[in-house]
Structure 1
Amino acid sequence: MVIRPLLRFAAPLVLLAALAACGGEADVVDQDSSSKADTAKADGKPAKEQGSIVESGFGQGDDQYVWVTALVENKSKKVGQTVTVSFNVKDEAGELLATTDQVESFSSTGQLLALGTQVDVGDGAKAASVEATLLVEDEGAFEGGPSLGTADAEVSDSEFGGQEARFVVKNPTDKPLKDPRIGVICKDSAGKINGGTSEFPELVPPSGEIKVKTNFMTLSGEAKTCTAYIAPGF
């Protein structure tokens, strides 16, 4: 499991050096880490970079499944870049429990993109921290469309146990919004990330809106607030 992320990034890092040599815009690699005691927030990055991790975190219930998430900002004037985040989940002793990754794309300039996924750390294992590594590749980038923004969610107890979030997704365009991709990041009463989920509704009408209810959220403790980060499908 330790070797996997090194192999994944080997080829893109070679490409980064090649782009820098020929004067092109190099890929960006950024790293961030957080523990259950503190949500990591990345320091300000130079504006010339294509993207950076704003914050990252995780949530774990009573089983071996952990929701890992990172909020990534598009700092370029283009969209369509491939955005990859690799997550290393570790225990209290710093031992690597599991590695997973999530791949998305930027869809608007200045976008805050929430990437998240679930990982199995094994029976009886408890996550204590997550290390997030970001790679932005600008091959195929193009001029962006309108931002779909964010939505504050109403958090309540679910009839099936745990909590659920409900929020409104608005379509600011005059065209149907098909298969939007929504990343939900939740925080506890101290303002620290403690889990989340992803949702993929089928359709938002032109200049219309829909209300979305999360089917399942993986959380450490209780969520005080949840925010939905809305992006178009590709």
Structure 2
Amino acid sequence: MRDERAKQVIDVWKTVVGVQMHFNDIGMRIRGLFITILLALLASIGFLLDKGWSLQLWRINIQFAVLVPIFGVFGTALFYLMDRYWFHRLLKGAVNHAIQIENKYKDTIPELSLSDEIGKESFFVPKGLLWVAAKCFVSHDKFRKKGQLHSDGKLELFYKSMISALFGISILIAVFGGISLDKKAALMPIKKSQGVDKATVTPPAVPQAIPSAPAPGAAPPTVIPLGPAAAPKDAKKE
């Protein structure tokens, strides 16, 4: 291969590797942002449990601490879709193209083997609890057939385990008092007679007569005592 042609191949390869680094950086930022939001969500659950704020639907009290993990499940699913089926697919395309270049010129330029070597070392075989978790959450073909956990399987394990954990937190909070029945809000039966509610009927108020002022020159009105009449003073002397 001529030196000019080799230089062109190396420049193209460097550009492709730069694209790989770009998409890999975006993926790491997405996961870092997700972890930050997840920690903030867990802190908010503790805050809501301490305050005891709740939402009442008819006779059922639902604490907000039960609902917040459910919102976290939807957010985790969105991060998973954006990470695996958006930017990770672009990263895999750049990696595959770099591997094609390296395989084509590996005889003349053997130094162009970075992407191929990274691909060989990226997967691993999980063991112990990690293998049990991978069995539960990972559906990638390479793991099911060979037991190897590649990048797609790692993303499945990362996000799906968080979704299950958030569901479990919501269920535990609901079981241990997060959802309760408000017995005081029960509807009381109302007794009615002939279609009229006795409790709501009030007798009309009796108007009180207001005495009018006497006319000028007229005798004052006679006051009739309501209690027993007082004895006259002359009767006491007799």
TM-score (ref. length: structure 1):
0.22
Tell which has more relative contact order, 1 or 2 (C-alpha 8 A, sep 6+).
Answer: 2
Task: Name whichever structure is richer in helix by fraction.
Answer: 2
Q: Give the number of the structure whose alpha-carbon radius of gyration is greater.
A: 2
Task: Name whichever structure is richer in strand by fraction.
Answer: 1
